[in-house]
Amino acid sequence: MAKILVVDDEHLTVEMLSSYLSLMGHESIPAYSGRQTWDRLAYEEPDLILLDIQLPDENGLEICRKLRAGDATRNVPIIIISAHFPPMTKEATAAGANGYLAKPIKLDALKASLNSSGVS
């Protein structure tokens, strides 16, 4: 079982992803903003982070860059999630993300991304 931080300002998206993760036997930690992300990381050590690009207070790509610069989060897999079209896969990779999922997220795509990030 992995502990996965789910960051998205859309509560329905967080609930849906948390349900998917629960069905796969994982624990989810919800965060709805950049600030909540940093608050959660102060006392949680996730095995993976699902991170939306567009948050109300901080850009997800910038959060990804900061996570890659931090000692405690440098090696934590990060999968960017976004509804941007066209997908911002190059920007996500440049920021240090391990993967990219386009919204709406399908269960099989989530499973494949988790597997490719080392979480099964």
Whether omega for the bond prior to residue 56 falls within 30 degrees of 0, making it cis, is: no
Q: What is the pLDDT of residue 120?
A: 75
Give residue for tokens 């990804």.
64
Question: What are the sequence ranges of the domains in the chain?
Answer: 3-115
User: Can you spell out the DSSP letters for 59-101?
Assistant: BHHHHHHHHHHSTTTTTS-EEEEE--SS--HHHHHHHT-SEEE
Which candidate, 61, 11, 48, 46, places its Cα nearest to that of 31? 11
Tens of pLDDT along 26-57? 999 999 999 999 999 999 999 999 999 999 99
Task: Specify the pLDDT at position 22.
Answer: 95
Return the CATH architecture of domain 3-115: 3-Layer(aba) Sandwich (3.40)
Residues of the chain with confidence (pLDDT) below 70: none
pLDDT at 84: 84
Q: Which residues pair with 3 in a beta bridge?
A: 27
